[in-house]
C-alpha cells in the first residue's frame, strides 16, 4: 500500500531532524513518499533531493507559508510547484526579511530583561529561524524548562518579549503558489479559532484542505473532509512531525494514498526517479 506523509518539518525550520534523517526514517517505517513542508523556506530541498535520489524515494515539493486573515494567523501548504519558481522565491525572501526584523526586535526585548542572545546562536545555518529557535536557547541556558514554558513566560502572544510579525495576505500566498505551478492547501483547519475566518477561507480559490491530520478528533476529520469534497478540493494529510520539538506527533501517523500524491505532483518530473 502506498502511504505518503505530506506534512513534516526539518532542521531548516522548526524540526529537529535533518532532511536526510526524515527520508531515512520515512523509509524505515514503511512510507512510500514524503513532502518536507518547512515554514517559509525551501532550503531543505538542496540536500533532500540528493538523498532521495540516492535512496530512490519519491519526494513531493512542499512548503508551509505563514499568512494572516482578519488578524488571525493562517498556515497555507503549497505542493507540486517548480522549485526554481521566481514567484515562490520572492515570497520566501519577503518572509525571510520580515522574520529577521522580528527576531531582532525580540532579542532587543530580551536584552532589556538582561537576557543577551546573539543572532548567531539562533541562526545555525537554518533556512527559517523564529521564536522556537529562541525558545531552545532559553531552554539550553536553563532559564526555562521547556519550549512551552519559554512561550508562556517570554515569547507567546502578549508576553514580555512578544513582537507581532508583519503578515502576508492569504490572497497573495495563494496567487504565488499558483504562479509557481503548485496547489494551495489550507493547513490544519481545526486550529483556526474564528468561524468568520473559516467561512472566508472556504470561499477562497484553494485547491485542497488538510483533512487527515494526526491530532484531529474524528468529528473534526469528518468535517474538513466534507468541506473539501463538496468543493471538489484535494483532501491532503500528514503528521505535522517536528521531531523533538513536538514529540506528540510521529512521522507517518497521518498519510494519504498514491492518488492524492500524484494529483499534487501534477506531472512534476523533477521529483520522479522511483
Phi first, then psi: give them for residue 241, nearest 5 degrees.
-70, 130
**Whole-angstrom Cα distance, residue 226 to residue 228?**
5
For the chain, the domains span 4-84+183-271
Percent of the chain clearing pLDDT 90 (strictly above):
77
274 confidence band (pLDDT: 50, 70, 90) = very low
- CA quadruple 77, 213, 230, 80: dihedral sign: positive
- By DSSP bridging, strand 234-238 and strand 208-213 are parallel
Which residue bears the cell 470561499?
A: 203
Query: 70-122: per-residue pLDDT in tens?
Result: 999 999 999 999 999 999 999 999 999 998 898 899 999 999 999 999 887 87
- Residue 211 phi/psi, 5° resolution? -90, -25
- CA-CA distance, 100 to 94, in Å (whole number)? 10
pLDDT in tens, 33-84: 999 999 999 999 999 999 999 999 999 999 999 999 999 999 999 999 999 9
The pTM for the full model equals 0.88
Q: Is 108 helix (H, G, I), strand (E, B) or coil?
A: helix
pLDDT band at 273 (very low <50, low <70, confident <90, very high): very low
Pick the closest to residue 49 from 57, 39, 40 (CA basis).
Answer: 57
Hey, what's the cell of 226?
Answer: 466534507
Look at 47-56, 140-149, 193-202, 255-264 and tell me which has the smallest mean pLDDT: 140-149
Q: Which CATH superfamily is domain 4-84+183-271 in?
A: Metal-dependent hydrolases (3.20.20.140)
Across 168-182, average pLDDT: 97
pLDDT class of 250 with cuts at 50, 70, 90: very high
Neighbours of 240 (CB within 10 A): 27
Question: So what's the pLDDT on residue 242?
Answer: 93
pLDDT of 118 reads 85
Model confidence at 147, pLDDT cuts 50, 70, 90, reads confident
C-alpha cell at 181: 505551478
| H-helix or E-strand spanning residue 15 | none
At 1-16, the pLDDT tens digits run: 999 999 999 999 989 9
22 close to 34: Cβ distance less than 8 angstroms: yes
Amino acid at each position: 500500500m502506498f502511504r505518503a506523509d505530506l506534512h513534516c518539518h526539518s532542521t531548516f525550520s522548526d524540526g529537529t531532524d535533518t532532511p536526510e534523517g526524515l527520508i531515512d526514517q520515512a523509509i524505515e517505517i514503511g512510507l512510500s513518499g514524503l513532502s518536507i513542508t518547512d515554514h517559509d523556506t525551501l532550503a531543505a530541498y538542496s540536500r533532500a533531493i540528493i538523498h532521495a535520489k540516492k535512496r530512490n524515494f519519491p519526494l513531493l515539493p512542499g512548503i508551509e507559508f505563514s499568512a494572516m486573515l482578519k488578524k488571525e494567523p493562517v498556515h497555507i501548504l503549497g505542493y507540486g510547484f517548480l522549485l526554481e519558481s521566481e514567484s515562490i522565491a520572492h515570497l520566501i525572501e519577503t518572509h525571510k526579511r520580515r522574520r529577521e526584523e522580528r527576531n531582532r526586535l525580540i532579542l532587543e526585548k530580551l536584552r532589556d530583561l538582561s537576557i543577551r542572545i546573539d543572532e548567531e546562536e539562533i541562526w545555525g545555518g537554518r533556512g527559517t529561524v523564529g521564536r522556537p529557535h529562541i525558545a531552545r536557547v532559553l531552554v539550553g541556558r536553563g532559564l526555562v524548562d521547556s519550549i512551552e514554558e519559554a512561550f508562556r513566560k517570554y515569547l507567546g502572544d502578549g508576553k514580555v518579549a512578544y513582537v507581532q510579525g508583519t503578515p502576508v495576505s492569504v490572497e497573495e500566498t495563494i496567487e504565488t503558489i499558483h504562479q509557481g505551478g503548485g496547489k494551495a492547501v489550507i493547513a490544519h483547519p481545526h486550529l483556526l479559532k474564528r468561524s468568520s475566518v473559516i467561512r472566508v477561507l472556504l470561499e477562497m480559490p484553494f485547491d485542497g484542505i488538510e483533512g487527515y491530520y494526526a491530532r484531529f478528533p474524528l468529528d473534526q476529520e469528518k468535517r474538513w473532509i466534507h468541506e473539501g469534497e463538496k468543493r471538489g478540493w484535494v483532501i491532503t494529510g500528514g503528521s505535522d512531525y517536528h521531531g523533538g520539538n513536538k514529540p506528540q506527533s510521529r512521522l507517518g501517523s497521518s498519510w494519504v494514498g498514491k492518488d492524492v500524491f500524484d494529483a499534487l505532483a501534477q506531472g512534476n518530473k523533477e521529483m520522479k526517479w522511483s
